[in-house]
Structure 1
């Protein structure tokens, strides 16, 4: 198995050879075998053991076993004890999900603090089969049928090509000791029930069932790659990026069939889950929108507009004359100027004596009005935005430069008539917005 493991690393995971690795070791068969294989290949690794404090003396025994294993192999060992039951209760999680969160949060902290590169876990082919069956039983798309990914960010699972049977045979032939987790025999948990009551019957159907399953997952993975590549090409063609907003023509979306599948493929990564609502948005009135945890999808005339939700802790900023302010969300330069120059979308000239410094940079709010340059009388910003055919997202992102409560400049759009340079002006301020 050592040779087969080495061949797999050389062929599929060669980057591990030169990296500093953190091997997750519970003390059970799979993780202990992974530790011995890493030692056999002379990897640069340390061990990490989680004591979840769920099985009393057994948990403490596992911890001591892993410490002794690390000592025998001459490698460093990190151990963390968790009050998993309390965490599960306070976070309203199952014990299994609580343990998973605690485990990977701690692993990530170790990677950062100890300057390690990858986490190795001992998931194998049977684990992937069990995950497939769990997802299948709950209902899933093609992603859920792909099993456990071999590489997922900083997490690598180098034992995925190996079966539990192979791992056990290797451990027994090499005289490797490990700890048995009594909870693994219980069928109270869904994974254990599938492991002990479902998978054995499936393997009876065909002697090469597990290998055939791995082949099937490989083909599913290739099919998924085709789908991903197709969706990537569609996004490049249909998603028009404009100042942090993605615009999608509804008429182009409606040409795609089956529409439900395409909507899911194109928009699921942005956190949307109610696909009937997404589909209904195509024919909704302008201004209708859907909100996910991370994104907003807005119907605007003949487009859908996709934007990331930005939480602004402070939408009001002081802007000083002749001073570079580094904490502004945009780059503004205010400087004293001798003569009136040519204005542009990003440049205005104002009468200094009419301004009260520091000026204020903020977003627009309901009820705002100003006196558009070149026009008589005031105008509500909401009406001005409508005349400019601005969508809701653009309105929300629109910056205003104000003197006290009076709008001086709707940035990139129009300055205010009240602050214009006149023949009687003695001092001029030039304001430049570096977009």
Structure 2
């Protein structure tokens, strides 16, 4: 295995010879063997161990073992203790998910602070097969069947080509000592059930199971690359606008493809949606129809689908009051500045000039609401704000982000759009107030 590992590093992961990295080490056979293999190549690494405090004294013994191993290998070691149960309870996570989040968050923080190039984990071929089976039994798309990537951002898995049997044989041959986690033998968790009950049967049916599986994942990854290329092409044609509030897609581009549902799934699967039939129905729905996940929403607007975050804050009843002496105000939609001027320069949707004497302070900045009316500048008569926004053909999401500047409950300005005729500059104006929105 040593020779095969060296060849694998030279051929596929030469970056590890040039970089500095952390090895995520539990004390179990896989990570301990990885540390020994890296040491044999004189690679530049340190160890990082998480004590999750879930196995009483056994957790402390693991920590002590890793400390002794670091001394034996003459490498630096970092230890972090976690109250995993408290984190799981507070964040409503399973113990396994809580440990995973704590582990990877700490590894990434450590790598960033101390300038490590990579984080190495000891996932191997059997882990890859088990992950495939877990995803398969739970239901997944193509990406869930392509296996664990060898490299994902700065996380690298050098042992993926090697089986558990190879790792065990190497440990025995080299007289390597490791810590055995008793929970690995438990059938309580799905991964262990598959490991101890399902995979042995599959290997009995096909002794070359891991080799066959690796060939299959290679083919699936090739297919996934083709799918990704097609998806990028459709995405490029479909997106007509993207900003900090939303991404807008042309419905027609989804209707052109043979399997709209598949493209919609691949395009929006990372945003928490599950109602895929309803999302397909959005293509022919009336304007204003929307589908929500826990974090996002898809809204039909005319011939477009608009993807937006769900608002984190409820701003419906939020008002910001602006005093006469205020010059610069930070708001949820940007900056407002107020300056006194002697003459009028060029105006725009974001710059207006008002007769200051017609205003009553404090001014109020708030979201528009049903029943608001204003007198559009340059026109005679009043108009409902809702009707004005409809005439401007704003989408539901755009309407939800429209703010008003008001004086004594009278609309002064639909911010960034239209000001009110009642407050305009006239020949009798003595005090000019310039308001600029950025």
> What's the TM-score once normalised by structure 1's chain length?
0.90
Partner of 2:384: 380
In the superposition, relative to structure 1, how do residues 190 and 413 fare at CA in structure 2: closer, same or farther (>3 Å)?
Answer: closer
In 2: Cα distance, 1:335 partner to 1:98 partner: 52
In 2: Cα distance, 1:433 partner to 1:95 partner: 48
In the superposition, relative to structure 1, how do residues 139 and 277 fare at CA in structure 2: closer, same or farther (>3 Å)?
Answer: same
In 2: Cα distance, 1:289 partner to 1:305 partner: 9
In the superposition, relative to structure 1, how do residues 12 and 324 fare at CA in structure 2: closer, same or farther (>3 Å)?
Answer: farther
In the superposition, relative to structure 1, how do residues 198 and 334 fare at CA in structure 2: closer, same or farther (>3 Å)?
Answer: same
In the superposition, relative to structure 1, how do residues 86 and 269 fare at CA in structure 2: closer, same or farther (>3 Å)?
Answer: closer
In 2: Cα distance, 1:414 partner to 1:86 partner: 52
User: Is 1:355–2:359 an aligned residue pair?
Assistant: yes
Aligned residues of 2:330 and 2:336 also touching (Cα < 8 A):
no
Partner of 1:365: 369
Matches within 5 A, 1:196-235: 196-235=196-235
Partner of 1:330: 334
Deviations 1:231-263 (A, max 9, x none): 111011011115543333333322322222122
In the superposition, relative to structure 1, how do residues 280 and 175 fare at CA in structure 2: closer, same or farther (>3 Å)?
Answer: same
User: Is 1:391–2:392 an aligned residue pair?
Assistant: no
1:318, distance to aligned residue in structure 2 (A): 5.2
Deviations 1:120-166 (A, max 9, x none): 11000110011111221222221111122222333221111111122
Worse overlay, 415-424 or 43-52: 43-52
In 2: Cα distance, 1:109 partner to 1:245 partner: 30
Aligned residues of 1:349 and 1:431 also touching (Cα < 8 A):
yes
Deviations 1:97-118 (A, max 9, x none): 3332332233334334444343
User: Is 1:403–2:407 an aligned residue pair?
Assistant: yes
In the superposition, relative to structure 1, how do residues 237 and 112 fare at CA in structure 2: closer, same or farther (>3 Å)?
Answer: same
User: Is 1:339–2:343 an aligned residue pair?
Assistant: yes
In 2: Cα distance, 1:415 partner to 1:200 partner: 74
SS in 2 for 1:254: helix
Partner of 1:290: 291
Deviations 1:60-103 (A, max 9, x none): 32222111101112222222334444544555443333332332
Aligned residues of 2:299 and 2:306 also touching (Cα < 8 A):
yes
In 2: Cα distance, 1:304 partner to 1:356 partner: 42
Structure 1 residue ranges without an equivalent (≥5): none
In 2: Cα distance, 1:239 partner to 1:251 partner: 11
In 2: Cα distance, 1:78 partner to 1:125 partner: 27
In the superposition, relative to structure 1, how do residues 295 and 122 fare at CA in structure 2: closer, same or farther (>3 Å)?
Answer: same
Q: Please, what is the CA RMSD of the aligned residues?
A: 2.6
Structure 2 residue ranges without an equivalent (≥5): none
In the superposition, relative to structure 1, how do residues 2 and 317 fare at CA in structure 2: closer, same or farther (>3 Å)?
Answer: farther
Aligned residues of 2:339 and 2:434 also touching (Cα < 8 A):
yes
1:55, distance to aligned residue in structure 2 (A): 3.2
Partner of 2:41: 41
Deviations 1:333-356 (A, max 9, x none): 433332344433333221122234
In the superposition, relative to structure 1, how do residues 163 and 280 fare at CA in structure 2: closer, same or farther (>3 Å)?
Answer: same
1:321, distance to aligned residue in structure 2 (A): 6.8
Partner of 2:270: 269
